[in-house]
Amino acid sequence: MRVDHAASWPYALLYAYVYPLLVWFFAWSVEGDEHLPADPTRRMLFVGYHSDHNWDIMMMSMAIKDAIGEAPIGLLHRTIMMFHPWLRRMGCIPGTTANALAAYEQGHRACIVLPGGAEEAVAGFENAYKVDWKSTSGRPRTGFAKLAIAANAVVVPIVIQNQQEMCFNPIFFLCNITRLSHAYNYLMRLPYGIGWTFWQIKGVLWLTLNCGTSIPLPVRTTLRFGPALKPRKHESAVAFAKRVERKYAQLLARANPGGLDYARALGDRFRRRRGASRQSR
């Protein structure tokens, strides 16, 4: 039986009061609805990019709700769900294949996952908008492709123009320009489980510092749904995952040419505003 998570009081409160405020602040718009399947029974798996600030994740979910009429199920890392069980009220579950398939079987049409994971989020300013879906061990991320094949779901890419520029974190910036973060990355490559331990510490520090130190910036943001992708006949999960990754990288680069650029992102907002003011005179 499908549970309407959008009816829970935390989701309803955020959707009614916080989401509209963020839409206004970030001049948020949505494009590409024509790429969404017209069949109301078609299962969908949305894939997106993992920013370092996380402000965009809730907005992605609520934009999908507006587009398809129901809130998607968020597939999160089990550790995050362990420390933040309240996220279940927002429609999030531990992102295993079994859990996601159960959600589809219960009648949910859509799930959303960020294949790059925390590795993508903490990759550093110089690697913003670079798509390399691998785990810390270097193995390609193929779980989302296996899920799409098992669930007979289409994969719908989501890219956001000026996504990373929505917030600026001075602590992350200082760690980057002083190359402290680069030195720490060396520790994460140490063998015998030592590097794994340093990676866990980095993940906790990122989540902790990110919450209270990111500064939102009034950039113009546009979410775009890309053309839906479905597995080809006899295509393996590994091949399908790589094809989706390549297509996603193209869409993300087209939305954010030149990579991370705060000046460009702010200019997108205020140049348009000045242009509109001149036309109205």
pLDDT tens for 146-180 read 999 999 999 999 999 999 999 999 988 898 889 88
- The structural domains of the chain, ordered by start, are 5-167+217-280 (3.40.1130), 170-213 (no CATH)
Q: Report pLDDT for 276.
A: 53
Taking the whole predicted model, whether its pTM rises above 0.85 is answered as: yes
The per-residue pLDDT for range 201-233, each reduced to its tens digit, is 887 778 777 878 899 999 999 999 999 999 999
**Is the confidence at residue 279, as pLDDT, over 70?**
no
Q: Report pLDDT for 280.
A: 47
Strand-pairing partners, residue 154, are 44
| DSSP-derived secondary structure letter, 110 | E
**Is the confidence at residue 42, as pLDDT, over 80?**
yes
Give the gyration radius of the chain's Cα atoms: 19
Percentage of the chain exceeding pLDDT 70: 96
163: closest CA among 195, 131, 200, 199? 131
The per-residue pLDDT for range 78-124, each reduced to its tens digit, is 888 888 888 999 999 999 999 999 999 999 999 999 999 988 988 88
Strand-pairing partners, residue 156, are 46
**Is the confidence at residue 275, as pLDDT, over 70?**
no
70: closest CA among 123, 2, 139? 2
Q: What are phi and psi of 258, to 5 degrees?
A: 90, -5
Region 41-63: what's the mean pLDDT? 96
Is residue 77 within 8 A of residue 40, CB to CB? The reply is no
Q: Report pLDDT for 274.
A: 56
Alpha-helical regions (H) of 106-161: 117-121, 143-151
Q: What is the mean pLDDT of the chain?
A: 92
User: Measured between alpha carbons, how far is 91 from 96 in angstroms, rounded to an integer?
Assistant: 14
Region 251-280: what's the mean pLDDT? 82
Name the more confident of 140 and 136.
Answer: 140
Give the CA angle between residues 157, 161, 165 to the nearest 5°.
125
Cα(first)–Cα(last) distance of the chain, in Å? 56
